[in-house]
Amino acid sequence: MSDPNPPDPNQSLPQGIPAPPPPRPDLKDIRQEGATYGTDKSEKGKKKKKRERNHPTDPYQPLKKSRGCCGCIGGLAVAVVLLVAAIIAAITFLGPGRFVKQGYKVVNLEESPAALYTAPTEPTLYIAKGIIHYRVPVTEVPVALIAREIAAEGDFLDEVSFTAAKVAVTAKARFAKNLEVFAAEFSDLGMTLKGDLNGRVIQNKP
């Protein structure tokens, strides 16, 4: 029969008797486990490739540039520049050359401002570097004006063309046929136009 009260191994033993050795831990033999590092290494390698570049010359995906209000302003500026360039082209190439081919008489006005009160008797092109004030009561022939600024009034019974940075026609200006205007700024102060308004204008003012 076994002893119902077994001796406590933690109790001190009599002198001269060595304590029994502690129980041997249950250790696994890692030699029989096989390789356990393959999966972890591959995953670490994938993460490293995502975070780091292998070489300084490896290409990155290009960043997409956002377009905001600056893009709108830039587009508007480009449009204005193109329109101004078109007006300059009209003055340089289509302006005098076009009217000369059509048989217009060319009159260069040296003074500025230049005021015209006498009606031409034949199709006439007036050119000035400054300002032209056209105040002829009745003009029966086609006329064209090219200057820095143009202010016109009177009755125009034939085709009319104005090319300038600023063009202004008053309420006393009446056009029986077509009016062509190439200008950065066009001010209509109450003109009467029975034909068509042609040309290119950047800004219209009432």
The lowest-confidence range among 22-26, 60-64, 105-109 is: 60-64
> CA of 173: how far to CAs of 83, 133, 146, 155, in Å?
27, 12, 18, 6
Residue-wise pLDDT for 148-171, tens only, equals: 999 999 999 999 999 999 999 999
More confident residue, 53 or 109: 109
Between 73 and 169, the more confident residue is: 169
Over the stretch 19-47, which tens digit does the pLDDT of each residue have? 666 666 555 555 555 555 455 555 555 55
Tell whether pTM > 0.75: no
In sequence order, the β-bridge partners of residue 146 are 127, 163
pLDDT above 80 (res 142): yes
The answer to whether 145 touches 152, Cβ cutoff 8 Å, is yes
pLDDT in tens, 166-178: 999 999 999 999 9
For all residues of the chain together, what is the average pLDDT?
77
The predicted-structure confidence for 8-22, as pLDDT tens digits, reads as follows 555 555 566 666 666
The residues spanned by each domain of the chain are: 93-205
